[in-house]
Amino acid sequence: MRKKFFSIFFSLLILLTQGCRDQSNVITIVASPNPHAELLYALTREADELGLKLRIIPIDDYRVPNRMLLDKQIDANYFQHQEFLQDEISRYKCSEDVSVLLGIHLEPMGLYSSKYSSLTDLQNRDQLIIAVPIDRTNEKRALDLLVTSQLVSYTKLRGIDVTAKDVKGFEGKNVKIVEIAAPLLVSSMPDVDAVVIPGNFAISAGLSPKNNSLMLEDVEGSCYTNVVVVRKEDIDKEKIIKLKKLLSSKLVREFFEANYGGDILVSKGENLYLR
């Protein structure tokens, strides 16, 4: 943990002391390594053409980027979907401090198994052990997928606060739900019958949501679009406006189509707002 902290600290220190003193055209942005930071790196030339310098900090710890944004260590972050952001806003009580700049893409959550080749195979089993993400928003999302897959059913509905304790096996099945930190889900596959994995972790591990999953969540009208978040006080700054223009371009769609095919869905470009 200490090594991770110092790694992040020194990365920030280097980035924030590099380059020219004029920061008016510099965007320091924290992003998940894949595909978020990967997209940003691919757009650096186009950013330069807009007079914008991107300083990208890849971080895979979900609890760091919003705190960094609120503390004014960075200008923006790009790692989270809308529901996770809502949870963070409640946690930090910062609804007046942050703003969604725009939605970029959606990574479908999928059901995977190294032991069974189809959803029907899973449905035919009387006993199952299934791993899901332990963080609140993704656990609700995973349980919804298992309900849709007819592997479990809800015993009670508690909104986003629903947990594994609130489900039971579908039609009398003996289903045990194991809650695991999202980065460890892929490595848990040999130890369980099935795993529900967020799209970015599946893709980073070489899995294809489109081709390798037994079931994908319904993305129609999804509230899980990944968003770029900035401070409200900065929303009208020229460099933030340029960032929005950059990320609204057709280059974003072209990047995802070329590199991920149908595994990542691109936002239609509509503005997204906090509830």
Q: What is the pLDDT of residues 193-247, one digit of tens each?
A: 999 999 989 988 999 999 999 999 987 778 899 999 999 999 999 999 999 999 9
Instruction: Supply the pLDDT for residue 164.
Output: 95
Please give the pLDDT value at position 23.
78
Sequence-distant (≥ 6) Cβ neighbours of residue 236 within 8 angstroms: none
Contacts of residue 114, defined as CB under 8 A and 6 or more positions apart, other chains included, come to 189, 190
CA 71/CA 174 separation, integer angstroms: 47
Q: What are the tokens at 190?
A: 């040999």
Count, residues in the chain: 275
What per-residue confidence (pLDDT) applies to 204?
A: 86
**pTM (2 decimals)?**
0.74
Q: What is the pLDDT of residue 49?
A: 98
Mean confidence (pLDDT) of the chain? 90
CATH classification for the domain delimited by 110-216, as one of 3.40.50.880, 3.40.190.10, 3.40.50.620, 3.50.50.60: 3.40.190.10
Listed residue (55, 95, 60, 88) closest to 73, CA to CA = 55
Q: What pLDDT score does 62 carry?
A: 87
| Mean pLDDT value across residues 64-78 | 98
For every residue of 173-235, DSSP letters joined together read -EEEEEEE-GGGTGGGGGGSSEEEE-HHHHHHTT--HHHH-SEE---TT-S--EEEEEEGGGT
237 CB-contact burial (10 Å; exposed 0-12 / middle 13-18 / buried 19+):
middle
Residue with tokens 């679009």: 225
Indicate the pLDDT class of residue 12, thresholds 50, 70 and 90: low
Q: Please, which residues have CB within 8 angstroms of residue 200's CB and are 6 or more apart in sequence?
A: 32, 34, 35, 36, 107
The pLDDT, as a whole number, for residue 254 is 96
pLDDT tens figures, 41-70: 999 999 999 999 999 999 988 889 999 999
Whether pLDDT at 266 is above 80:
yes
- For 27, counting Cβ atoms within 10 Å of its Cβ (0-12 exposed, 13-18 middle, 19+ buried), the class is buried
Considering only the top CATH level, what class is 2-107+223-266?
Answer: alpha beta
Which element (helix H / strand E) includes 98? strand 98-106
Domain ranges of the chain: 2-107+223-266, 110-216
The yes-or-no answer to whether 2-107+223-266 and 110-216 have a common fold is: yes
Per-residue pLDDT tens digits for 156-169: 877 778 999 999 99
Q: What is the pLDDT of residue 16?
A: 53
Task: Give the number of C-alpha atoms closer than 13 A to the C-alpha of residue 233, restricted to the C-beta side.
Answer: 7
Task: Give which of 158, 160, 155 is closest to 140, Cα–Cα.
Answer: 160
Sequence-distant (≥ 6) Cβ neighbours of residue 190 within 8 angstroms: 114
Residue 181: pLDDT band by 50, 70, 90 thresholds? Answer: very high
Percent of the chain residues past pLDDT 70, beyond the cut? 89
The neighbour count for residue 9, using CB atoms within 10 Å, is 11
Axis crossing angle, helix 82-92 with helix 136-148, rounded to the nearest 10: 140
pLDDT at 271 (0 to 100): 44
pLDDT at 260: 92
Q: At 197, list the tokens.
A: 């994995």
Whether the Cβ atoms of residue 102 and residue 78 lie closer than 8 Å to each other: no
The per-residue pLDDT for 244 is 98
* Lowest model confidence (mean pLDDT) among 11-20, 96-105, 171-180: 11-20
pLDDT given at position 17: 53
The answer to whether residue 261 scores a pLDDT higher than 50 is yes
Where does the pLDDT of residue 272 fall: very low under 50, low under 70, confident under 90, or very high at 90 and above?
A: very low
- Which residue, among 57, 6, 53, 58, has the nearest Cα to 27 in the 3D structure? 53
- CA gap 124, 9 in Å, rounded: 50
